[in-house]
Amino acid sequence: MRYYTAVDWGAEKGREPLRNIPWGRIIGYFRPYAAALWAVLGCIVLSSVLGLLQPLLIRGIIDYAIPSGRFGLLNLLCLLMIATAFAGAGVGVLQGYLNAKIGQGVMFDLRNQLYRHLLRMPLQFFTNTKTGEIMSRVNNDVNNLQMVVSDTVSNSLKNIVSVITTVVTMFWLDWRLALLSLVILPLFIVPTRRVGQMSFRLKKKTQEKMADLSALMQETLGVSGILLVKTFNKEEAEAARFEARNRELMEAQMRQSLVGRWFFMLLTAISTAGPAIIYWFGGRAVMGDAMTLGTVVAFTAYLTQLYGPVSALANIHVNVMGSAALFVRLFDYLDKPVEIEDRPGAVDLPKVGGRIEFSGVRFRYRPGGEWVLRGIDLTIEPGQLVALVGPSGAGKTTLSHLIPRLYDPEEGTVRIDGYDLREVRLSSLHEQIGVVTQETFLFHASLRDNLLYAKPDATEEEMIAAAKAAYIHDRIVQLPDGYDTLVGERGYKLSGGEKQRIALARVILKNPRILILDEATSALDSHSERCIQAALETLLRGRTSIVIAHRLSTILKADQIVVLDKGRIVEKGTHRELLAKGGLYAQLYKEQFAEQEERRETGGARAKRAERPSLSLG
């Protein structure tokens, strides 16, 4: 295990320039809670005044009440000590409530802002970023800010007020002892900047390691991940990988916890030595009748009230610098550009007929990268069924993603009913498009909740009608809890065919004018495939449909087959037209679909034979 020094960390590449920490932006999160902050300041001032009274009351007891034998004065001063203690405790409870209100409010605002921003991020952000890393930012980074936003602000104000009032009172009591007490204060302050810089970098490093660990757990402990781990016999390998990441996190946390320990040990030693110096100097003055004993005792009490807050302020600086690293990580996400959003002046897309036009569309996933789509010109008429066919990586899915504007083309335009998609509001566009992906996703909720996700205000009758249209209602009512059955994470309690039919029912309930469908069913049994084929007939009827076709039956029904290869449209036409051309489609047909057609024809022949009357041999 290696323990880093400040020099080590200063030499690391990519370190954050501390002068660039956006303090003004951080403070901005506290502005909505200005009234509560002022109330905290009032509590702090009142608490400081009550704290200053205690040493003065002790001085009165030692110098006046006891020597004079005045029992009445002794009783009064002791009662005042008890009263100020209870009053201080009450003020402390109120201050604690206000601190919690401010801190939890700031974290609530941060989480909301971060989550809303993430929802607006383009699809590419999520394909390039691990889910565990995103979760770590939203959960771990925000949660670790609790100390700074709940306690640090109020404690800083409290300690500053306490230092000022204590120093003023100390000079009022005896200016010589006050100056002697202040001489050693620079030893508390000077090293804090260096320790704070180290804390900033180590905190950032620790959160990065924590994000790595969260990402690993997210991948391996999800249903899909753990299934892969078990079926490939990788339990020990994953445990070893987790242990390595966990060790890296432990070492980072150890380095963070050891930051400035020598410095804080020095502060403790100074805090102990200070009163000894005051007793030595003050004791000589008392022996020479130049000072009262009560003044020396009171001064020592004030010294504790001075060194404690000064030491705390030094520690707070270190904590603030560590928390600044968390803010920087959060701002890194909040500052990521939202590439797909409503333009100024965007209009609502009216109810559409469903005419889709691609004009000179070119697209790539990153500047300077390889073109995924190259000069796409395509018109899809309202109500048409268009099948997208082509080898893997031809650009079929990317082309379909441009219609709901999950991406924007780098060149060219995509229009629906003549409206450029970049000029309409995203919400109005998404209301009229339904998407069923190849990898069906269901929430870990009831079947009812998953279906109503498409239309929360749908009636029971509408929901059941959609389930019947998707040929899944009869299966649902057979389940113990019917529509209230929990489907498990990502729907793992259901079979592949059942999940796809639930997804189809969800889209039927939404009733979109335009449908995008990746209809892969190669892994389904024959019964599930027949049910889905029947559901698709209902779903596709009367809609403009773009299907990434994996099934021959869909291709045969398509009004237009679009064949893509290397980002270009190389062929267009019907099934018979494209077979007659003998081009890429004909080749793909022979490789992928001929076997399906043979099975279809065989199944039809068997059905016809079953319908013929049997012949008697006797």
Least confident range from 80-89, 108-117, 168-177: namely 168-177
Q: What per-residue confidence (pLDDT) applies to 607?
A: 42
**What is the rounded CA–CA span in Å between residue 334 and residue 445?**
30
Residue 245 has pLDDT above 60, yes or no: yes
Residue 237 has pLDDT above 70, yes or no: yes
Exposed/middle/buried for residue 363 (C-beta within 10 Å: 0-12, 13-18, 19+): buried
Question: Is the separation of the CB atoms in 598 and 605 below 8 Å?
Answer: no
**CA nearest neighbour of 588 among 402, 387, 401:** 387
**What is the rounded CA–CA span in Å between residue 239 and residue 244?**
9
Question: Is the separation of the CB atoms in 192 and 156 below 8 Å?
Answer: no
Residue 362 has pLDDT above 90, yes or no: yes
Read off the DSSP letter of residue 46: H
Residue 610 has pLDDT above 80, yes or no: no
Specify the 3-state DSSP secondary structure of 514: strand
pTM of the complete model:
0.70
pLDDT tens for 562-606 read: 999 999 999 999 999 999 998 999 888 887 766 666 655 555 544
Question: Is the separation of the CB atoms in 380 and 417 below 8 Å?
Answer: no
Question: Is the separation of the CB atoms in 160 and 40 below 8 Å?
Answer: no
Least confident range from 147-161, 200-214, 348-362, 498-512: namely 147-161
Q: Which CATH superfamily is domain 6-334 in?
A: ABC transporter type 1, transmembrane domain (1.20.1560.10)
Question: Is the separation of the CB atoms in 497 and 528 below 8 Å?
Answer: yes
Phi, psi of 148 (to 5 degrees): -70, -40
pLDDT tier at 618, thresholds 50, 70, 90: very low
Residue 149 has pLDDT above 90, yes or no: no
Q: Quote the tokens at residue 353.
A: 């007929």
Q: What per-residue confidence (pLDDT) applies to 190?
A: 58
Question: Do strands 373-380 and 385-389 pair parallel, antiparallel, or not at all (unpaired)?
Answer: unpaired
pLDDT tier at 516, thresholds 50, 70, 90: very high
User: Look-up: residue for tokens 């009748």?
Assistant: 289
When pLDDT is averaged across residues 180-205 and rounded to a whole number, the result is: 67
pLDDT tier at 411, thresholds 50, 70, 90: very high
**What is the rounded CA–CA span in Å between residue 581 and residue 490?**
43
Neighbours of 580 (CB within 10 A): 11
Question: Is the separation of the CB atoms in 362 and 411 below 8 Å?
Answer: yes
Residue 287 has pLDDT above 90, yes or no: no
Highest mean pLDDT among 204-208, 424-428, 596-600: 424-428
Query: 361 forms bridges with which residues in the sheet?
Result: 376
**CA nearest neighbour of 180 among 303, 311, 55, 314:** 303
Using only C-alpha atoms, the chain has a radius of gyration, in whole angstroms, of 36
Beta-carbon contacts of residue 114 (< 8 Å; ≥ 6 apart)? 137, 138, 142, 330, 333, 334
Nearest 5°: the CA angle 275, 314, 282 is 15
**What is the rounded CA–CA span in Å between residue 565 and residue 396?**
9
Q: What mean pLDDT is reported for the chain? A: 79
Answer with the residue of higher pLDDT: 577 or 541: 577
Q: Which CATH architecture has domain 349-432+515-520+544-610?
A: 3-Layer(aba) Sandwich (3.40)
Residues 106-110: contacts with CB under 8 Å, at least 24 apart: 106/29, 106/30, 106/33, 106/145, 106/149, 107/142, 107/143, 107/145, 107/146, 107/149, 109/29, 109/32, 110/29, 110/142, 110/145, 110/330
Amino acid making up residue 127: T
Answer with the residue of higher pLDDT: 444 or 156: 444
Read off the DSSP letter of residue 506: H
When pLDDT is averaged across residues 15-19 and rounded to a whole number, the result is: 46
Q: What per-residue confidence (pLDDT) applies to 372?
A: 94
Range 47-74 burial, b when 16+ CB lie within 10 A, else e: bbebbbbbbbbbbbbbbebeeeeeeeeb
Highest mean pLDDT among 63-72, 90-99, 248-257: 90-99
**CA nearest neighbour of 282 among 309, 269, 270, 300:** 300
Exposed/middle/buried for residue 358 (C-beta within 10 Å: 0-12, 13-18, 19+): buried
**What is the rounded CA–CA span in Å between residue 344 and residue 149?**
36
Specify the 3-state DSSP secondary structure of 363: strand
**What is the rounded CA–CA span in Å between residue 440 and residue 218?**
19
CA distances, 221 to each of 20, 71, 132, 142, 490 (Å): 38, 73, 11, 23, 13
How does DSSP assign 386-439, residue by residue? Answer: EEEE-STTSSHHHHHHHTTTSS--SEEEEEETTEEGGGB-HHHHHTTEEEE-SS
pLDDT tens for 322-339 read: 667 778 878 888 888 888
Specify the 3-state DSSP secondary structure of 134: helix
Phi, psi of 517 (to 5 degrees): -135, 125
Specify the 3-state DSSP secondary structure of 589: helix
Domains 6-334 and 349-432+515-520+544-610 alike in fold: no
The H or E element containing residue 357 is: strand 356-363
Domain ranges (residues) in the chain: 6-334, 349-432+515-520+544-610
